[in-house]
A and B are shown apart, each in its own frame.
Chain A
Amino acid sequence: MNSQRAAWWFLAPAVIVLCVFFLVPVIAACGLSLTDLDLYALADIHNLRFVAFDNYWALLHRPLFWAALWHTVYFVAAGVPLSMAVSLCAALLLHSPLVRCKPFFRTALFAPVVTTVVAMAVVWRYLFNTKYGLVNDALGVLGIHPIDWLGDPHWAMPTIILFAVWKNFGYNMVILLAGLQAIPAELYEAARIDGASAWRQFQHVTLPMLTPTLLMVGILTVSGYFQLFAEPYVITEGGPLESTVSVLYLMYDEGFKWWNIGSASAIAFLLFVIMFIVTTCMLRITRETDA
């Protein structure tokens, strides 16, 4: 009994921090999402109304919410596989015994991760300028007509995806590189003795041994990419024609720009539920592959 009490004392700091900074705000936000807290209520609390699920109901009837959800899903569905593929290729290249100057390339490929989003976004806005951008200049050399990267609603999201992949692949690359280095060399040796080609070695040694790392990286990337915000915020400001508004961006606008805290809380909760379901499914897949 006493040792249990002592254990609680040891846990107390962590539990208190978790309660104060996570649990209480989450419960408060859940409560807020059932009210219409806004500027008027901030001025006089009598102006606060309890609206039950009206915020959620209104959201589900708002085309922009569905559009934002679609943009986010599009970003995750296209961005995550692309980002992981690039990370894996980069990790494989860096892991190859043929590569010279490994520390240099490792640093160079990791550099985008530690640069600030805002500075990079400004550079990308210049690169992808329709009239004067280097990207269109390069395409012009290949005989391709200039593309309106940031002004065409169909191209804006792919540009954002490219930016996010370029910005983030270094982080996963480092984790995957560590995973690759943990694969025992004997396995490759045995495969070579059996006459396996490089591709077969990758297929039957590298991939299976790397699966746990890949799944972990996948879950982290998915949950990170669902929270798409900074990239459209600094590059396109949600435009053109709201084609890069993500769920989190919509929440920011509602909550911090227009001060509709009630409806912003409802968006936050819906996003939480969606992310919870997706990551739970991914964790279940992990467990099944482990079994």
Chain B
Amino acid sequence: MIIVASPAPHPDPLPGGEKGYWTACVFIVAVLLCTCLTACAQRTDSHTLTFWTFGREGEAITQLMPQFEREHPGIHVVLQQLPLSAAHQKLLTAFAGDSLPDMTQLPNTWLPEFVALDALAPLQARVAHSPVIQPGDYFATIWSVNVFDGKLYGVPWYVDTRLLFYRSDLLKAAGFNAPPRDWAQWRRMLAALSHPERGVYGILLPTNEYDQLTSLALEEPDPLLRDGGRYGNFESAGFKRALSFYVDTFQLHEAPPITNIEAGNPWEEFGRGTYAFYFSGPWNIGEFRKRLPPSEEADWNTAPLPGPDGPGASEAGGSSLVIFRTSTQKDASWMLIEYLSRPAVQQRFYDLLGDMPPRRSAWNLGKLRSDPKAQAFREQLERLKPTPSVPEWEQIVNEMQLVAAQAVAGHLTIDQAAAEIDHRADRILEKRRWMLDHTHSPSAAL
């Protein structure tokens, strides 16, 4: 090699040297091709079904798989667990890189995004011929969030909504025999149960979680976006009322202005009586049972979300099962969806995890029927309201919470905050407006 680099005595570079380069180049290309081919070959195995699951569901579902594979010996399911915090990003990257799995669980709020990307296979025809999946058995709102322009893109897997966990013993000691039905009652209880000088508060509302304010806002009649999802509607009277109620709770020192990072272990704090109310979702029934001693089981309960005037609606959360358009295993994927949608399997899933089934018939079985702490959810599930189904919603609701946190800190008034949220939402929706006006119709409509 040194001979080639130094002023060469030969008129031409060594022919062998040049040949060596080409050999090397061909070798490298060959190696790259081989890696690619093996990688690609792995994906086209005719009986393998790839299923992406997130977080806790991913752990629990492994126990439901053996029965499915016994019933369908020809199908091998590869479960790949993603951490929930990275799932959204990984799904989008997989879409961009054309390496999506056959099917996945998809949180309701992400559905519009993937429908807009045209990444999901329509399922209407399959449902029509399915003996297992009967749309009428599902809670109506949860079913409807999977329908876009009359086409069905997902089958609800579990539902998730926000309501109140409360310390019945503390409420009773303060003279309240039942949980609140409306905001006025709730406010009175919060006031009676808060003693900020002792570090005791009525409720914990982490200022970096948007679900609580979203749920309050959904209880108001005004929609959160207007003109077919073209503009924010946060300056509506309804949203301002919800925001005022939320912000007042902090200003009256009925909730500490902290984030969930500082809140640390809310379960123990709830058990200790630091908070009398906790505004959260169904998985916490299991968490509280696991973390609080059985002797305290009778001291807490769940209640439907109080509304502005009487029991209100709450957020229609949860996840659906979807099949990607690019999948080569659509029939096998559908069999798995049907299996997971059986009331008996959903009931087992609830036993494993506490995730609530979206089918009414599953609620008539086993523990779900008898568990007193689940009954508030059963009631709430009939009164759900979806969040606006635009792909930008997650970003808008994040901005909403950031502005709301500034209002909580006293940097903005309610009117200023509402105007600021609208301003930010309108900026985020700019592309959507352009798309709607230029008939590149995004399939997700409000």
Please report A residues at the B interface, Cβ cutoff 8 Å: 2-3, 5-7, 9-10, 36, 38-40, 42-44, 46-47, 49, 58, 125, 129-132, 148, 150-151, 153, 235-237, 239-242, 256-259
Contacts and interface: CB of A to CB of B under 8 A. Distances in A.
B95 A129 contact: no
Contacts of B4: 6, 9
Interface residues of B, number: 41
A7 B13 CA distance: 11
Interface stretch (B111-119, B131-139, B159-167, B375-383): B111-119
A240 B8 contact: no
Given A46-B440, A47-B440, A239-B259, A259 B13 contact: no
A2 B8 contact: yes
Interface of B: 4-8, 12-13, 21, 88-89, 92, 95-96, 113, 116-119, 199, 207-208, 257-259, 261-262, 264, 391, 395, 402, 405-406, 409, 411, 427, 431-432, 434-435, 440, 442
A240 B5 contact: no
Nearest to B5: A6
Nearest to A12: B21
9 contacts: A2-B8, A42-B95, A43-B116, A43-B118, A44-B440, A130-B262, A150-B261, A239-B208, A239-B259
Contact of A241 (B8, B199, B405): B405
Nearest to B92: A259
Contact of B431 (A10, A36, A44): A36
Contacts of B113: 39
Contacts of A151: 257-259, 262
Contacts of A44: 118, 440
B5 A7 contact: yes
A132 B199 CA distance: 13
A43 B13 contact: no
A150 B402 CA distance: 16
A146 to B, nearest CB: 11
B189 to A, nearest CB: 24
Contacts of A39: 92, 113, 116-117, 391
B98 to A, nearest CB: 11
A241 B409 contact: yes
Contact of B6 (A3, A36, A125, A150): A3
B304 to A, nearest CB: 31
Given A150-B261, A240-B259, A38 B431 contact: yes
A38 B95 CA distance: 13
B198 to A, nearest CB: 13
A67 to B, nearest CB: 11
Given A236-B261, A241-B406, A2 B116 contact: no
A132 B432 CA distance: 47
B391 A3 contact: no
B438 to A, nearest CB: 9
Contact of A256 (B5, B89, B432): B89
Nearest to B1: A10
Contacts of B88: 257
Contacts of A6: 4-5, 8, 13
A265 to B, nearest CB: 15
B395 A258 contact: yes
User: What 9 A-B pairs have minimum CB-CB distances, sorted nearest first?
Assistant: A43-B117, A151-B262, A258-B395, A6-B4, A3-B7, A151-B258, A256-B89, A239-B208, A47-B440
Given A9-B21, A47-B431, A236-B261, 11 more contacts: A7-B5, A10-B5, A39-B116, A42-B95, A43-B116, A47-B435, A49-B434, A237-B261, A239-B207, A239-B259, A240-B208
A235 B259 CA distance: 12
A5 B208 contact: no
B207 A240 contact: yes
Nearest to B257: A151
A3 B5 contact: yes
Contacts of B199: 131
Contacts of B427: 58
Contacts of A36: 431
Contacts of B409: 153, 241
Nearest to B95: A42
Nearest to A130: B262
Contact of A242 (B21, B395, B402): B402
B116 to A, nearest CB: 6
A259 B92 CA distance: 8
Nearest to A252: B89
A49 B113 CA distance: 19
Chain B CB count within 10 A is highest, among A3, A38, A43, for A43
B275 to A, nearest CB: 13
A47 B433 CA distance: 12
A236 B261 CA distance: 7
Contacts of A46: 440
Nearest to B434: A49
B5 A239 contact: no
Contacts of B207: 239-240
Given A6-B4, A241-B405, A40 B13 contact: no
Contact of A40 (B258, B264, B431): B431
Contacts of B257: 151
A113 to B, nearest CB: 25
Contacts of A148: 262
A142 B92 CA distance: 51
A5 to B, nearest CB: 7
A150 B262 contact: yes
B8 A3 contact: yes
Nearest to B14: A6
A5 B4 CA distance: 10
Given A2-B8, A7-B5, A258-B395, A40 B259 contact: no
A240 B8 CA distance: 67
Contacts of A257: 88-89, 395
